[in-house]
Structure 1
Amino acid sequence: MADYNTLARPYAKAAFEYALSEGKLAEWSTMLGLVAEAASNKEVTAFLLNPSLNSDAKAELLLEICQAKIDDQSRNFIKLLSEKSRLPLIPVIAGMYEAFKAEQEKSVEALVTSAFELETEQQQLLVDALRKRLNREVTLKVEIDKRLIGGVVIRTGDLVIDGSIRGKIAKLAESLKS
């Protein structure tokens, strides 16, 4: 079977292009996030993977769960995914959509893992430095991991900046082995 990313990409791209052309990037982002969350539920996933149910029943379940955030175009998109047996891909489609949206908006979310709670000023310094380095608007998501000993690890996309004490010790140990 083809890779989920390969299967999901054309649908994510089509959703993004439609939302962009209609000026509804935020609305589609919310809708896809909601539908992806619903589709990730264990019971809903089992329902969507049930081969004895037809595509209409599967689509209707998702549409009923998410009816508050579904407009006619979104409804048609969900039905199309169902007809093509792509409903289990919705979480992947939503993730790709968010990546297309972030690229369009020149924004990125950075996950900062720190050994200690970061003060507001420290977070702002990180945002400013990352904004300058990445040439994008940056949103921080901060997590605490005492195992780092000190410092931070920053992850955004495929960029990882390891400024932790733990990382430096590991590099030192690796260089001593050589």
Structure 2
Amino acid sequence: MSVLDTIARPYAKAIFELAIENQSIEKWKKTLIFINEIIRSKKIEKFLSGSLSPSYLSSFFIFVAGDHIDKDARNLIKLLAENQRFKIFNNILRQFLKLETSYQGNTIIELISAYSLQEHEIIDIRCILQKIFLSKIKFIYKIDHQILDGIIIKKADTVFDFSVRSYLKQLSDVLNF
């Protein structure tokens, strides 16, 4: 897990707990996606990376967001500006989405392969993992040609590395290359 994810986790958890308390998970999800889109805008991105005061920055951001955000979201923006956390907002959003998925009884698995897997292969992997983790599986699927062949399965801090690159590294370590 990256340092940015570690920093983002308490923010996402607090937002998610508020969303559960107010029965507004879907509303918060839409709000966070909306805020993320604003932050990712090239013009706004440059503005956010400047050296503006937190109060001016939050006021500007709230002005840009307009009526699309409520009081709680405005407070979040003020907190992010005060703590200079706009740069990790995408991580906050990802952590929130992971919490939502877990809350719905799903397990998020990051599946990385060297090439595009066929549908039946993904289904087979999903079935095996559902038996192992005893829950529904939701994949975040990525292709990484650097692993040469095979797959890597990540669940939170647990990694199952079945890649050729990993096997070659293990072989190299044994042979002391």
Q: Which residue of 2 aligns with 1:32?
A: 32
Q: Which residue of 2 aligns with 1:102?
A: 101
Q: Which residue of 1 aligns with 2:73?
A: 74
2: CA distance, partners of 1:170 / 1:72: 52
What is the CA distance between 1:67 and its match in structure 2? 4.7
2: CA distance, partners of 1:51 / 1:116: 43
Matched length: 174
RMSD of aligned alpha carbons = 3.2
1: CA distance, partners of 2:6 / 2:118: 41
Q: 1:59 to 1:140 in 2, by over 3 A?
A: same
Question: Residue type of the partner of 1:26?
Answer: E
Q: Which residue of 2 aligns with 1:19?
A: 19
Q: 1:155 to 1:66 in 2, by over 3 A?
A: farther
Q: 1:113 to 1:93 in 2, by over 3 A?
A: closer
TM-score by length of 1: 0.74
Unpaired segments of 5 or more residues in structure 1? none
Q: Which residue of 1 aligns with 2:175?
A: 176
1: CA distance, partners of 2:146 / 2:66: 43
What is the CA distance between 1:40 and its match in structure 2? 4.3
Q: Deviations over 1:95-150 (max 9, x none)?
A: 43334333323323322222332111110111122222223322223333344343
- Aligned-partner SS, 1:116: coil
Q: 1:12 to 1:44 in 2, by over 3 A?
A: same
Deviates more, 1:84-93 or 1:125-134: 84-93
Q: 1:63 to 1:166 in 2, by over 3 A?
A: same
Deviates more, 1:42-51 or 1:4-13: 4-13
TM-score by length of 2: 0.74
Q: 1:108 to 1:70 in 2, by over 3 A?
A: farther
2: CA distance, partners of 1:98 / 1:116: 26
What is the CA distance between 1:22 and its match in structure 2? 1.8
Question: How much identity, in percent, do the aligned residues show?
Answer: 25
The answer to whether the 8 Å contact 2:102/2:108 transfers is no
Q: 1:141 to 1:59 in 2, by over 3 A?
A: same
Q: 1:8 to 1:168 in 2, by over 3 A?
A: closer
1: CA distance, partners of 2:41 / 2:73: 20
What is the CA distance between 1:19 and its match in structure 2? 0.4
